[in-house]
Amino acid sequence: MTSLSSQMKTLVAPSLVDFEPYDPKFTSTRINLSANENTHEMPAGTKMAVCEALSKVQLNRYPDPMANGLRKTIAEWRQCDSACICVGNGGDELLFNFLLAFGGQGRKLLNCPPSFSEYELFSKITNTEVVNVWRNLETFCIDEEAALNAASDANLVILTSPNNPTGDVVSREFVSSVCEVCPGIVMVDEAYDEFSRKELSCDDLLGKHDNLITLHTLSKAFGLAGIRCGYIIASPDIIDVFASVRQIYSVNALTQAVAAAVIANRDEYQGVCEDIKFERQRLLSAFNCMRDDGLPIEVWPSESNFLLVRVPDATFVHKRLRDEFSILVRDFSSTAGLKNCLRIAVGTQSENDELIEAIKTILSTNN
Ligand SMILES: *Cc1c(COP(=O)(O)O)cnc(C)c1O
């Protein structure tokens, strides 16, 4: 891992001295299941609509800053007012803006790790104190009592449902209680909510709690990680705050056009999501069968498009998958609480078949 040069360490803001330049460890492989992307092809009708929409974009003009056309499309889909939507350059930008607007020196974020690493990164950049309430490291369940206690004193809370990388969901009752005790703002990150059961989403709690935000993205279920488009739903007052701190043109014209075209064709994605959920179940069963056959693998159930598994010497398994089979998964071995864990995105049927065979081979010969 690289760090900043010694000269830069004397020049950057003190809070950034320990920073390491982001290294996504990108290697090109035949099968990439490392970033929870959707590896299914874009449905044919949607593809045509996207091409058509792109051909009409006026590239010489600045984009509409608030993406009002796209906002309206999202609002109609999610059955809320456009004033309750803010679009961002990926969910990541909205997470950053959440910390920028509501965090800062002397303010506290409640985080429940192991979870998405960006929360802590953005907290550091914005000088926000992170209060970690750790999950149970066997089940990955949140310690709800401890979290409620910490929430009563937090300026910001992020709950991730389904959680990345553990795959579990939080209960809506718990989210409601957090919103009630927290004097600050509560964000539920639902980046993967299309893969979970509809009745588990917190979107319909928005009317009940004016300090609640839900975060969504087109990167996962809609397979649009490359265009960078996410959105939040919240009260108009909260949206005004996001509107005031965001980079004015963060969501470019091509992204606005593609996102609107895809959402208009969203019905075509139901089959894609159903297939991913079916394949998730098949992978889960395959891993459980391996365990029943005496192979050393543990897997957690998931409401998302990935599975977390634990295997002996995970870093070596990760390397063998990459070098012998050209399959890339994500190694979480060095993340606190996730010793020997790998996160594997659910791919297409044939990708998953290859993955299952490769893991079987590796676990049978790894000693
Ligand atoms: C992928 C992801 C996001 C957002 O991703 P973008 O590509 O920036 O929209 C947000 N939260 C979690 C937990 C994620 O895994």
Full-model pTM = 0.97
Q: Is 132 exposed, middle or buried (0-12, 13-18, 19+ CB in 10 A)?
A: middle
Give, for ligand 1, the residue of 37, 116, 255, 308 to mutate: max count of ligand atoms closer than 8 Å to Cβ. 116
Q: Which residues contact 107 (CB under 8 A, 6 or more apart)?
A: 128, 129, 155, 156
Angstrom distance (rounded) from CA 343 to CA 276:
15
Give, for ligand 1, the residue of 119, 159, 164 to mutate: max count of ligand atoms closer than 8 Å to Cβ. 164
Taking a C-beta distance cutoff of 8 angstroms, is the pair 108, 154 a contact?
Answer: yes
Residue identifier of the C-alpha nearest atom 2 of ligand 1: 191
Helices (H), the chain: 6-11, 44-55, 68-78, 90-102, 118-125, 144-151, 172-181, 236-245, 253-264, 270-292, 314-325, 349-365
Q: Which residues contact 126 (CB under 8 A, 6 or more apart)?
A: 96, 99, 100, 103, 104
* Cβ of 191 less than 6 Å from ligand 1: yes
Angstrom distance (rounded) from CA 53 to CA 115:
36
Angstrom distance (rounded) from CA 299 to CA 316:
18
What is the predicted pLDDT for the residue at 366?
64
- If you count them, how many residues does the chain have? 367
Task: Give the position of tokens 């910490």.
Answer: 150
* DSSP category for residue 127: T
**CA 290 to ligand 1 center in whole angstroms:** 31
* Cβ of 160 less than 6 Å from ligand 1: yes
What is the predicted pLDDT for the residue at 53?
98
* Cβ of 140 less than 6 Å from ligand 1: no
What is the predicted pLDDT for the residue at 15?
84
Q: How many C-beta atoms surround the C-beta of residue 279 within 10 A?
A: 19
Amino acid in the structure at residue 218? L
Phi, psi of 39 (to 5 degrees): -95, 5
What is the predicted pLDDT for the residue at 361?
97
* Cβ of 164 less than 6 Å from ligand 1: yes
Q: Is 294 exposed, middle or buried (0-12, 13-18, 19+ CB in 10 A)?
A: exposed
Q: Pick from 358, 339, 280, 343: which is nearest to 309 by CA?
A: 343
Taking a C-beta distance cutoff of 8 angstroms, is the pair 77, 266 a contact?
Answer: yes
* Strand pairing category for 230-233 and 85-88: antiparallel
**CA 157 to ligand 1 center in whole angstroms:** 16
Residue identifier of the C-alpha nearest atom 12 of ligand 1: 191
Angstrom distance (rounded) from CA 30 to CA 324:
11
Q: Pick from 197, 259, 274: which is nearest to 226 by CA?
A: 259
Q: How far is CA 279 from the centre of its chain?
A: 20
* Cβ of 224 less than 6 Å from ligand 1: no
* Cβ of 90 less than 6 Å from ligand 1: yes
Phi, psi of 327 (to 5 degrees): -120, 125
* Cβ of 116 less than 6 Å from ligand 1: yes
Give, for ligand 1, the residue of 92, 158, 216, 304 to mutate: max count of ligand atoms closer than 8 Å to Cβ. 92
Task: Give the position of tokens 């002996």.
Answer: 312
Q: Which residues contact 63 (CB under 8 A, 6 or more apart)?
A: 249, 251, 252, 253, 256
Please, what are the averages of pLDDT over each run of 10 residues along the chain (367 residues)? 85 88 78 97 97 98 98 97 98 98 98 98 96 97 98 98 98 98 98 95 96 98 98 98 98 98 97 97 98 97 98 97 97 97 98 98 85
**CA 171 to ligand 1 center in whole angstroms:** 20
* DSSP category for residue 204: G
What is the predicted pLDDT for the residue at 2?
75
**CA 182 to ligand 1 center in whole angstroms:** 24
Angstrom distance (rounded) from CA 336 to CA 181:
28
Which atom, in ligand 1's list, is nearest to the CA of 35? 1
Angstrom distance (rounded) from CA 100 to CA 132:
19
